[in-house]
Amino acid sequence: MSNANGPTRRHLLQAGAVVGGATLAGRTVWAQAKAAPTKVLDFLTYADIAKVEQEGQFVFYCHENEAGTAAIVDAFTKDFPKIQGSYVRAQTGALYSKILAERSTGRFDVDAIQFSDLAPAIDFQKKGGYEIYHSPEAGAYQAQYLSDPPGAYFWTGVDFTGIVYSKARVPEAEAPKTWKDLLDPRWRDTISCKIAASGLQFVQWYELRKLYGDAYWTSFAKQRPHAFDSRVQLMDRLARGDDKVTAVGEYAAYVLYQKKNADIGFVAPADGLPATPLIVGAVNRAPHPEVSKLFVDWAMSLRGQKFYQDNLNLIYGSVRDDAPPMLTGARLRDFKLLVPTNLADYVASHDEFNKVWSAMLGL
């Protein structure tokens, strides 16, 4: 992903560093002091496995669709059958609001959280929401794919979007080839997108506005798009012919529905594909702290990354240095990705996005 426009930030990467038993902003910094990591299955962890088995529970908050969220928890607990897993899923915006509301009332029920957007992850880090854990698996990741400073979260993969259309309703020769083609009046009332709570929708709004200016989204609003929570809803509507095209045609969703023999087509506009990292971190004051560490190590490991890439409900492109190709045989570097590089500007624009997008949808 060297040309995928990933953020270029300078980090001090000290995976597995000695951090002692210090506290930081009210958080306990989990120590890896002098002790060697333990090998479990085929990866390394600083989690105390005996305590993991005593805790025996894992609570996961995730932005992913229902099937994808369940798949992550099932895969982890299948590898560690003495752990029982549960989860809450919602789009990133709603999920973040939920965890902040819970924490404001003194509820700390979550072990690990996964967002589809850097903005809430950075904000959550500033609020002291993550535990600082330097996984022994972090050495397989370049610094720009770890939190700054490292130890709060990492990129467990990348989700990206092109354009997907219904072949039953749109001949291939007439399918939109560029992002600007979506502004053609023939797509009015037959085009879909995601709601404002979607991290990927935020990235698409931000990146296409950089390319084409505010006028692009003003024109897009005239198409009267149908907005939905999940990529499953978007693809179901295309497969049934309810819509002709979706502006948020996630590559992962396209691959899944191809496997289901849906009559759909994927277009990768030459200007690039808006992309968002999927962000995983262990949560501060987790009820099962050893399990949360083990989960982070599992998700960072080659074992976990292969799962994230190959599961049909996920198909996240891995940024791990030694990651194999995705299920399709493609790698992230095969795509021109549009990822926000000015993180301060990106985060600062989130409120404007919510206002513009809600107004466009009549909310």
- pLDDT of 30 higher than 70: no
The answer on 166 and 135 residing in a single domain is no
Half-sphere exposure of 7 (CA within 13 A, CB side): 23
With beta carbons less than 8 A apart as the criterion, state whether 141 and 323 touch.
Answer: no
Residues 146, 28 share a domain: yes
Please choose, from the candidates 116, 51, 126, the residue with its C-alpha nearest in 3D space to the C-alpha of residue 284: 126
pLDDT, residue 88, reads: 97
139 and 215, same structural domain? no
Among candidates 99, 2, 31, which has minimal Cα distance to 60?
99
Write the DSSP symbol of residue 130: B
- Please indicate, yes or no, if residue 312 is contained in any of the structural domains: yes
| Structural domain includes residue 58 | yes
CATH number, domain of 33, equals 3.40.190.10
Question: What is the domain range of residue 219?
Answer: 159-275+344-360
Q: What is the predicted pLDDT for the residue at 105?
A: 97
Q: Tell me: do 214 and 300 sit in the same domain.
A: no
Report which of 56, 50, 99 is spatially closest to residue 283, judged by C-alpha positions.
99
64-106 pLDDT per residue, tens: 989 999 999 999 999 999 999 999 999 899 999 999 999 999 9
User: Over the chain, what is the mean pLDDT?
Assistant: 90
Q: Name the band, by pLDDT with cuts 50, 70 and 90, for residue 35.
A: confident
* R_g (Cα) of the chain, nearest Å: 20
**Does 300 reside within a domain?**
yes
Task: Please give the pLDDT value at position 333.
Answer: 87
Query: Phi first, then psi: what are they for 110, rounded to 5°?
Result: -110, 140
What amino acid is encoded at 9 in this protein? R
- The pLDDT of residue 363 is 60
Same domain, 260 and 281: no
Average pLDDT over residues 150-177: 97
Is 355's pLDDT higher than 90? yes
Residue 76, in any domain of the structure: yes
Question: Does residue 283 share a domain with residue 257?
Answer: no
Cα 13 from Cα 191, distance rounded (Å): 44
In a domain, 128, yes or no: yes
Q: Is 129 helix (H, G, I), strand (E, B) or coil?
A: coil
CB 187 within 8 A of CB 344: no
Q: Measure the CA–CA gap between 204 and 94, rounded to whole angstroms.
A: 18
Instruction: Assess whether 52 and 93 both reside in one domain.
Output: yes
Q: What is the distance between the alpha carbons of residues 103 and 344, in angstroms, rounded to a whole number?
A: 25
Phi, psi of 91 (to 5 degrees): -60, 155
Mean pLDDT of 282-292: 98
pLDDT tier for residue 327 given thresholds of 50, 70 and 90: confident
pLDDT band at 130 (very low <50, low <70, confident <90, very high): very high
Total structural domains within the chain: 2
Task: Mark whether 33 and 151 lie in a shared domain.
Answer: yes
Query: What's the mean pLDDT in 23-52?
Result: 74
CA 226 to chain centroid: 22
For residue 13, being part of any structural domain is answered with no
Q: 99 and 245: one domain?
A: no
pLDDT 10s digits, 255-277: 999 999 999 999 999 999 999 99
109 and 121 share a domain? yes
**Is 18 part of any domain?**
no
Residue 259: Cβ within 10 Å count? 10
Q: Evaluate whether 319 touches 155 at the Cβ level (below 8 Å).
A: yes
Is the domain of 304 the same as that of 317? yes
Residue 7 covered by a domain: no
Neighbours of 164 (CB within 10 A): 27
pLDDT tens column, 166-214: 999 999 999 999 999 999 999 999 999 999 989 899 999 999 999 999 9
356 and 230 co-located in one domain: yes
